[in-house]
Amino acid sequence: MTAGIDDIAIYIPRLYIDAADFAEARGLDPVKLQKGLGVSQMAIVDANQDPACLAANACLRVMEKNNLSPDDIGRLYISTESAFDESKAMNSYVIGMLEQVYGQGSFEHCGGVETKFACVSGSYALYDNTNWIRAGEAEGKSALVVVSDIAKYDMGSSGEMTQGAGAVVMLLNDEPRLLEFDPKVTSTSIKDEYDFYRPFGKETPIVHGQYSNLLYMIQVRKALEAYKKKVISSNLIKMKENETILDHMDYINMHLPYSNMGKKALAYLVRHEWRQLPRWKNILEQIGMEEPIPKDPRGTIESVLADEEFMAKDHEFTKLFTKTQEYQDVFESKLSSSLIASTMIGNLYTASLYLGFRSSLEFEYQKGVDLEGKRIGFGSYGSGSSAMVFSGLVQPEYEEIVKSMNLEAEIGQRKRLTWSEYEELHENKLTPEQSKVHTKKEFVLVDVKTDVESRGERRYVFTS
């Protein structure tokens, strides 16, 4: 049985901090954010928003757009790393909100859990729900998989320039109009690591930034190796001599903690794939230097990062590699459109990969490309750490969905925060009623109880 993504909707908070204002306040060169990281604006949640109401707003959009009733939905999964309860799952809050619109008890039949593995958990949730459909257990119902997060780092930390917030929901069923997942090729890699983690009770993560960048690339490459083996053994793709698996992906969507991480990761994967092929000789001639090797090629990530001479040479080599026409062609045709939304919104943790997927569909379609039958490869990464590589084919009915995509309209009118407004929000100084914008027909948080008996209980309303 086939299964995949039938439709997709997003919800992005209306507030943002502009990269230029951020750089000025922090005494940074604005070019570092805009060109070095690929960050122009970062979405920030209002005082009356949390990841559950971002998720509920996204779910309502996809349901209304497709005239779905709760009876059409068999499962509602939420993947997040911004959970605010150690026991009560975030999908229960979302169901509570949706029932304010669809009627109390209307989702009673619907199963689901909250899943966690940093930014990769949404991909695991997609995979599990795809298999629920493939196994024939869905009985004609669809699944909603929501990825919702607030990427928030400590004030003054280097992670602070890679924040963002938002939710993406994917409607999965057995007759997907957008993307059918390739069967039996989804591949993972996993390793106990401390590149980025958020201990109990801490609102912001502990991050080893450069370590996380390198680990992300290593883990995705391992998952890609496993994917390659499965693709070949399952005969999904017939690889000819001197080809790489990446040649068979028309688009590559990467996890985007900031948009340039996608560029970095693509360059890393392409380099590793091309190195084995005759085309590499010509690339090396263009670059004009040998590919550097670390002093201890079998060393740890720490030893590689500490090898300053290697890191500097490798940086230079990568820069030259990314300037070659061959790499530029891959970048422009397979990745560039997926980065546009990330630049405007920032990191969405679990939702970043899927915002990139959504971005690539909209902006490739706008270029006039016929997307039918194109294979999209996904490189998902979650700190801590695990990666997942999988793929799917764009379906003949895709145009029904993609022709009406309009990122700016779906984000809505935004308010550019002043630095002091940003600080107030970041430091949680405002109560929900002090929200900066007042929205209509959206779920908002109105209260979090503080008394001993009901501490942590949240109340949401649907604004009129």
Rounded distance between C-alpha atoms, residue 385 and residue 191, angstroms: 6
Q: Could you give the string, one character per residue 258-287, with x where binding to ligand HMG holds by CB under 6 A and - elsewhere? A: x--x--x-----------------------
In whole angstroms, the minimum distance from the beta carbon of 32 to ligand HMG comes to 4
User: Whole-angstrom distance between the N-terminal and C-terminal Cα of the chain?
Assistant: 42
For the chain, what is the total number of helices (H) and then of strands (E)?
Answer: 16, 17
In whole angstroms, the minimum distance from the beta carbon of 213 to ligand HMG comes to 5
Q: Which residue is nearest to ligand HMG (CB)?
A: 36
Please name which of 232, 258, 256, 212 lies closest in space to residue 379, comparing C-alpha atoms: 256
In whole angstroms, the minimum distance from the beta carbon of 51 to ligand HMG comes to 13
* CB atoms inside a 10 Å sphere around CB 444: 22
Stretch that binds ligand HMG, among 131-139, 377-385, 399-407, 413-421 (CB under 6 A): 377-385
Residue 10 or 207 having the CB closest to ligand HMG: 207
Cis peptide before 380 (omega within 30 of 0): no
Residue 338 or 383 having the CB closest to ligand HMG: 383
404 touching ligand HMG, by CB under 6 A: no
Crossing angle of helices 259-274 and 279-287, rounded to 10°: 120
Please name which of 154, 150, 170, 151 lies closest in space to residue 52, comparing C-alpha atoms: 150
CA dihedral 254, 256, 259, 265 (to 10 degrees): -50
Residue 173 or 352 having the CB closest to ligand HMG: 352
Q: Could you give the string, one character per residue 327-356, with x where binding to ligand HMG holds by CB under 6 A and - elsewhere? A: --------------------x-x-------
Q: How many residues bind ligand HMG (CB under 6 A)?
A: 31
Residue 4 or 159 having the CB closest to ligand HMG: 159
Rounded distance between C-alpha atoms, residue 152 and residue 168, angstroms: 18
Q: Which run of H or of E encompasses 22? A: helix 19-26
Among 164, 257, 346, 356, binds ligand HMG (CB under 6 A): 257
From residue 367, alpha-carbon distances to 17, 272, 295, 333, 364 in Å are: 29, 30, 45, 11, 5
96 touching ligand HMG, by CB under 6 A: no
289 touching ligand HMG, by CB under 6 A: no
Residue 34 or 106 having the CB closest to ligand HMG: 34
Rounded distance between C-alpha atoms, residue 205 and residue 129, angstroms: 29
Among 51, 159, 164, 346, binds ligand HMG (CB under 6 A): 159
Residue 48 or 80 having the CB closest to ligand HMG: 80
59 touching ligand HMG, by CB under 6 A: no
Residue 207 or 389 having the CB closest to ligand HMG: 207
Q: Could you give the string, one character per residue 290-329, with x where binding to ligand HMG holds by CB under 6 A and - elsewhere? A: -------------------------x--------------
Among 2, 20, 25, 36, binds ligand HMG (CB under 6 A): 36
Assigned token pair, 420: 């002091």
Dihedrals phi, psi of 172, to nearest 5 degrees: -110, 140
Per DSSP, the residues of 331-379 read IIIIIGGGGHHHHHH---GGGHHHHHHHHHHHHHHHTT---TT-EEEEE
Assigned token pair, 456: 């942590």
Which residues sit at the interface with ligand HMG, rule CB under 6 A?
Answer: 29, 31-32, 35-37, 81, 118-119, 158-159, 161-162, 196, 207, 209-210, 212-213, 216, 255, 257-258, 261, 264, 315, 347, 349, 381-383
